[in-house]
Chains A and B, each alone.
Chain A
Amino acid sequence: MSRVLLPALFGILVLCAWEAAVRVMGVPAYIMPAPSAILAALASNAPDLLAGLAVTLEVTFAALILAVATGVLIAVLLASSPLAERTFFPYAVFLQVTPIVTIAPFIIIWVSNIFAVLLILAWMAAVFPIISNTLLGLKSVDRNLKDLFRLYGASRAQTLWKLSLPSCLPYFLGGLRISGGLALIGTVVAEMVAGTSGTRSGLAGRLLEASYRLELATAFACFALLSASGLGIYAALQWLSRRLLRRWHESAREEQV
């Protein structure tokens, strides 16, 4: 209970202090809006902001799904041959350490469809943890179990489906939780760099627009929605992970009282 209550109480306390400080010191709303003003902005712009959020989340989820599919596939290919791993893994690292902002201008020139641009950039941000964690999992398969599969004449496909993939599930899910957040961050950064605007623009575009017009309350409302989405994605993936591992993995076992 205190796991929810304590952080919630702290949050409310900070919001109250913020509200009081803004009112007492008479800070103008274009410098620092009070929480009540942000809430009001959120309410009055709700349809518009939620439409923007839907656009952003659409890219985020598409990128995450694409990252899972390609990341697992790449990890399986790299794990199948040490030569392939030595040759290609450095490029996976390259993908991870390169700030996507610096690649965005090229992608924008090469790809005309704006959805595709955002998707590519968000995918680049999200795919590495899936590759590296799944690869680690695939390489950590119990040696004796591998021998056992060999002894009973298991085919490569059987070994992959019945042994390697289940064994690497906890590692994969660890990577997925990181990638979920990165997909959202990647999407937001891509939206800002690509400078999408208009009715089909995502929430990051609206945040920028609002800040240019000094409508800081609206900008803060966008920010709050994005943060809440990030937390929601994390919580959902955490739930998924616990659900899948609950019966057998140490990390998700219910504590026995």
Chain B
Amino acid sequence: MNAAAVTLRGVAKTFPSAPPSSGTPSSGTTALAPTDLTIASGSFVAIVGPSGCGKSTLLRMIAGLTPPSTGHVERAEGAVGFVFQSPTLMPWATAQENCALPLALSGIDGSLAAPEALARVGLAGFEGAYPHELSGGMQMRVSIARAMVTSPRLLLMDEPFAALDELTRFRLNDDLIALWKQNGWTVVFVTHSIREAVFLAERVVVMSPRPGRIVADIAVDLPDRSPAARLSHAFTDQCARVSAVLEGAA
């Protein structure tokens, strides 16, 4: 196994609840119970679970956007890319300007890297387009290109395709697999879709709510991740396995 890209040791998150009116001391809401997780460098890990299971909180703590209440998050050296649930583009900026933002913030000229990243997500020729001129799927591609532009070692994705239609989602899934193979990223992909998780990831981490915790860690063995694999027996079997674990945990 490769070196770890991310290591979580006893990481937990408690959000303070509203001030108690009755005078009983409140300990707050536990979004995530103490959790250990190691993600190998170069692997594609999906995190699935129902809403409220702490999967987004876990991802935000890996990104460093939310500090853990207890425990440590260790991340290997290298840039991090983050893709949000919505495209999160600046409406006043073109696709190219949006894509170049991470570089611009570090004072690096992105006039070459940004068009290249856009071309890699199939958006060559749309550099000058504004977000409202693009479809939902294309906006998401710009968002992925922006996450790629710094050549990250680690790509964190928070239900990035949840708002898209199924056809677009399948296409983006296929593209994501291809990009992952090309670039050797470590990908942590949060989703609530079992099928999406099984199709994309080598390893599916299943989480459960109240309190948020990891209930299963399943290695997915799919010989083939081409679009045709979605109809294969192996794929349906793996989905059934993860599904059974999820239902057992609920």
Give residues in A with beta carbon < 8 Å to B.
142, 144-145, 147-154, 158, 162-163, 166-167, 169, 247-250, 253
Contact = CB atoms under 8 A, between A and B. Distances in A.
Interface residues of B, number: 22
Where chain B touches its partner, the secondary structure class is loop
B92 A248 contact: yes
B105 A152 contact: yes
Contacts of A149: 105
A152 B130 contact: no
Given A163-B90, A253-B132, A151 B84 contact: no
Contact of A147 (B65, B80, B92, B93): B65
Contacts of A169: 92
Contacts of B102: 152
B33 to A, nearest CB: 24
Contacts of A152: 101-102, 105-106, 150
Interface of B: 63-65, 80, 82, 84-86, 88, 90-93, 101-102, 104-106, 130-132, 150
A151 B132 contact: no
Given A148-B82, A148-B84, A248 B130 contact: yes
7 contacts: A144-B85, A145-B88, A150-B65, A151-B65, A166-B90, A166-B93, A249-B91
A153 B88 contact: no
Nearest to A154: B105
A158 B101 CA distance: 11
Given A158-B105, A166-B92, A248-B132, A151 B86 contact: no
Contacts of B88: 142, 144-145, 148
B100 to A, nearest CB: 11
A247 B106 contact: no
Given A151-B63, A151-B64, A145 B130 contact: no
B130 A247 contact: yes
Nearest to B66: A147
A149 B102 CA distance: 8
A185 B35 CA distance: 64
Contacts of B63: 151
A147 B56 CA distance: 13
Given A158-B105, A247-B130, A248-B130, A151 B90 contact: no
